[in-house]
Amino acid sequence: MEKLLIEACLEVIHSDALVGMQDMGAAGLTSSASEMASKAGTGMEMNLDLVPQREQNMNAYELMLSESQERMLLVVKQGREQEIIEVFEKYGLQAVAVGEVISEKVFRIKQHGEIMADIPVDSLADDAPVFHMPSKEAVYYKEFQEMEMETPTVTNHSKMLKKLLQQPTIASKEWVYDQYDSMVQTNTVVTPGSDAAVIRVKGTDKALAITTDCNSRYIYLDPETGGKIAVAEAARNIICSGARPLGLTDGLNYGNPTNPEIFWQMEKSVEGMSAACEALGAPVISGNVSLYNQSKGKSIFPTPIVGMVGLHESLDHITPSHFQQAGHLIYVIGEAKAEFGGSELQNIVNNGVYEGKAPTIDLQVEAKRQQEILSAIKEGIIVSAHDLSEGGLAVALAESLFHDKGLGLEVSLTGDDTVQLFSETQSRFVVSVQAENKEKFESIVDNANQIGIVIDDHKYTVKVNNETIIQENVQELQKLWKGAIPCLLNSKA
């Protein structure tokens, strides 16, 4: 039904009978109708007896605030309503005239012959009161900021990698997305499972990359920094696919905003998101808010979800997130620090308790690296690209092999083994490059360290300080990664 509505609206916009159009989002008819009238400097009168209803005997309050989906509000030139109605009928949709624009700047609602509301239209839009809720820095935040940054103790890095690959936040989401048809209209170029899905724009040499991201644990520990990271990670995923970030929509999910500490979480995380949007050139073009998300007096972690879209200026720029061929060089961009606050490793070691500082992020460094990666992709130098996020480098390397190509890797690192393998330091990437492009790649991308090579067997081998720390079969790792969520669901059945 939504698809039919979209197609009908796309046809209707070509008619000069159409004056204006707005979708029905939050508050349904109330917001869409009053906003249209207020923007136009007019008023609106509506007869609710004419409004199509999905339930019988709905009162005026219910009709005006219903957020039923698959609906649009149109303003049409008087006397030409039938032209518009016929377009919608062609798509099997109902279109009904329910009111008219009036010169008096009021919002008048009638039902059953009675006036149910008569209010200045601007009072519902531009003149609506603005509430400044009390805001107070969360007590836990100061405690976390004063904590010393400690590296969790890991005695067996192979076992820890296997545990991380089975975490719901890291494990394959195939069980979910495989239940849906990702090839509708045959425009899908990169299917689910990569850093970003890619949809071609038919009739052009362009495509759109799409991703969603948010690490609510970082935002809980440090709302402003976590807000920056949410936007930056989404942009990294778009960049890794070979696209330039265009803009984002957000879904802001929080607890009870009348709690000053919860409202502080909202304020600071939105400030962080705004700063990241400006630094990365990705404006917020839409969004929604869900508040009062709590149970038994305990709020959810603050979760401002970021959905981002990017543009591939050429289909040649589309880049996979998986290693492609034996002999390709493996690089990591950016250095690991001992940053484990809110990390998946901390989750496992601390039995689900998150504390300390979230990873830091420098938005200027982030923007610079993203541009360097995208430049190298456009020049055809980078063969594959994957961002480092949950689980750190060890997980990113494993995910880069999970594509049934029969490949493995040999990687050599220096430094603290736990930091190198599992730190979630921001603004980092894993890429693969053809050997002949080594010098050219290193001249474009700063902070690029060659750490290994792709090999043609199923071995995942990582040495740290010349000592073999992890040596696993890629197929076994992939089996754990793919089977984790189905196993969890079956165990709860």
Does one domain contain both 332 and 425? Answer: yes
Check whether 482 has a pLDDT greater than 60: yes
Q: What residue type is assigned to position 50 of the chain? A: L
385 within some domain: yes
Q: Report the candidate in 422, 313, 433, 458 with the shortest Cα–Cα distance to residue 383.
A: 433
Does one domain contain both 99 and 160? Answer: no
Q: What mean pLDDT is reported for the chain? A: 94
* Beta-strand relationship, 298-299 and 294-295: antiparallel
CATH number of the CATH domain containing 322? 3.30.1330.10
132 within some domain: no
131 within some domain: no
Does one domain contain both 111 and 143? Answer: no
374 within some domain: yes
Alpha carbon distance 45, 29 (integer Å):
12
Mean local confidence (pLDDT), 305-332 = 96
| Range list of H helices, 204-283 | 216-221, 223-240, 260-280
Last residue of some domain: 97, 124, 151? 124
134 within some domain: no
Does one domain contain both 67 and 202? Answer: no
Burial class of residue 317 in the structure, from the number of CB atoms within 10 Å of its CB (0-12 exposed, 13-18 middle, 19+ buried): buried
Tokens 């935002």, located at residue: 219
Alpha carbon distance 230, 212 (integer Å):
9
Q: Which of the two residues, 493 and 332, has the higher pLDDT score?
A: 332
Q: What residue type is assigned to position 36 of the chain? A: M
129 within some domain: no
Alpha carbon distance 344, 4 (integer Å):
42
Last residue of some domain: 69, 99, 124? 124
Alpha carbon distance 401, 408 (integer Å):
7
pLDDT, tens digit, for every residue of 362-394?
Answer: 999 999 999 999 999 999 999 999 999 999 999
Instruction: List the end-to-end C-alpha distance of the chain, in Å, as a whole number.
Output: 33
Does one domain contain both 153 and 84? Answer: no
Domain count, the chain: 2
Alpha carbon distance 428, 8 (integer Å):
44
Report the run of H or E that residue 20 belongs to, with start and end: strand 18-23
Q: Report the candidate in 319, 331, 336 with the shortest Cα–Cα distance to residue 423.
A: 336
E-assigned strands of 326-436?
329-333, 382-387, 408-413, 429-433
Does one domain contain both 53 and 167? Answer: no
Range of the domain at 25: 2-124
Check whether 184 has a pLDDT greater than 80: no
pLDDT, tens digit, for every residue of 229-276?
Answer: 999 999 999 999 999 999 999 999 999 999 999 999 999 999 999 999
CATH number of the CATH domain containing 56? 3.90.650.10
Burial class of residue 189 in the structure, from the number of CB atoms within 10 Å of its CB (0-12 exposed, 13-18 middle, 19+ buried): middle
Does one domain contain both 481 and 362? Answer: yes
Does one domain contain both 364 and 424? Answer: yes
Query: What's the pTM?
Result: 0.86
Query: Cβ atoms within 10 A of the Cβ of 177, count?
Result: 13
119 within some domain: yes
Alpha carbon distance 250, 306 (integer Å):
5
Which of the residue ranges 69-78, 184-193, 327-336, 427-436 would you say has the lowest mean pLDDT? 184-193
130 within some domain: no
Mean local confidence (pLDDT), 152-169 = 96
Does one domain contain both 16 and 143? Answer: no
Per-residue DSSP letters for 172-223? --HHHHTTS-TTGGG-EEE-BTBSSEEEEETTTTEEEEEEEE--HHHHHH-H
Does one domain contain both 188 and 336? Answer: yes
CA angle 344, 334, 445 (to 5 degrees): 140
Last residue of some domain: 101, 124, 147? 124
Which of the residue ranges 170-184, 213-227, 454-468 would you say has the lowest mean pLDDT? 170-184
Does one domain contain both 285 and 365? Answer: yes
Buried b (16+ CB within 10 A) or exposed e, 264-303: bbbbbbbebbbbbbebbebebeeeeeebeeeeeeebebbb
Does one domain contain both 75 and 160? Answer: no
